[in-house]
Structure 1
């Protein structure tokens, strides 16, 4: 399901999405796509029985990044059909895809080049991106007490959050992703400053690379 604004990741939990039929509940995984503002639930196929009607209920605890609640309750009834595997996105290459993209769009005009990178953010090469972004706290932050009350991590976001587990990065907690989107818990203007925003497919490369754990590939 898609939302009209970015969600607060800390409010997206399995307890907020339930798939039931009668007294039975189906379990599975969640995926939040920060670029498309899309939340997907992947029930365990063994928990779904063909021919039975299931009810998907979205709890009222889910919030947007600014604390707004759902405008109305969400209840969806469905019949399971084809069992589809969870999609696996190809992992973009830091050297082939990410570094050339960010270097082309974000290093001109004295912004994030090698010599005097603004806010210490050097996007001039793959090595520089790894050194100045991955796991490095952003010097900018959204100075909003309400956001910190919703999720304390908003005030100390890394530029790129590679995640705790290998291969499970978190673009929803990566400040650079929000700056490229020009939305969410950011301070200042959208990147790249004074130039056309990156296209959706270009931001998708960054999001997918971060999701894969920001590998040195």
Structure 2
């Protein structure tokens, strides 16, 4: 089973070293690269092709919110998780709108962090309890946005339609790969193609959009 490749992005070297030591002792997790700010992270991500990026919110040159937005556009298969001291709305909602799959606070336990990395690597969303509560409260205050237009029929290949159906059913990339007997990397390629065809930024939005039966 291939290890989950993680990119660490934090302007504090001590923080990166601590995260590396914590993650490297875990089976199935590999620290593939480090960066001290968003601009460096884009370069490192292009080289190491991570599965998960742990991103600080406040950094010099390019902060975590902007990094996640750019990384989602360039490498939509990367699951970005904000790991921050700050639980301010601008960071939380900015990161999630930009394509983050999770938002954790730095006072989380090592077990919570490791579990979140594994879950994000499987395509799941991970939110700290205070962040989830803020998100629910915001959704209750905000009227639902109209759904994005569906992709025209005939635009999806047969395999893309199968992947779309399994995403709509809540399957992770690993489960889809096992079900269709294809490599997990191939699933990620199909997910990237679906994101382009549906004009969506991230897998979470794609899953929500595909709750109705996708075009065949």
TM-score grouping bracket, smaller chain normalisation:
under 0.3
- The structure with more helix, counted as a fraction of residues: 2
TM-score, reference length from structure 2: 0.28
TM-score, reference length from structure 1: 0.28
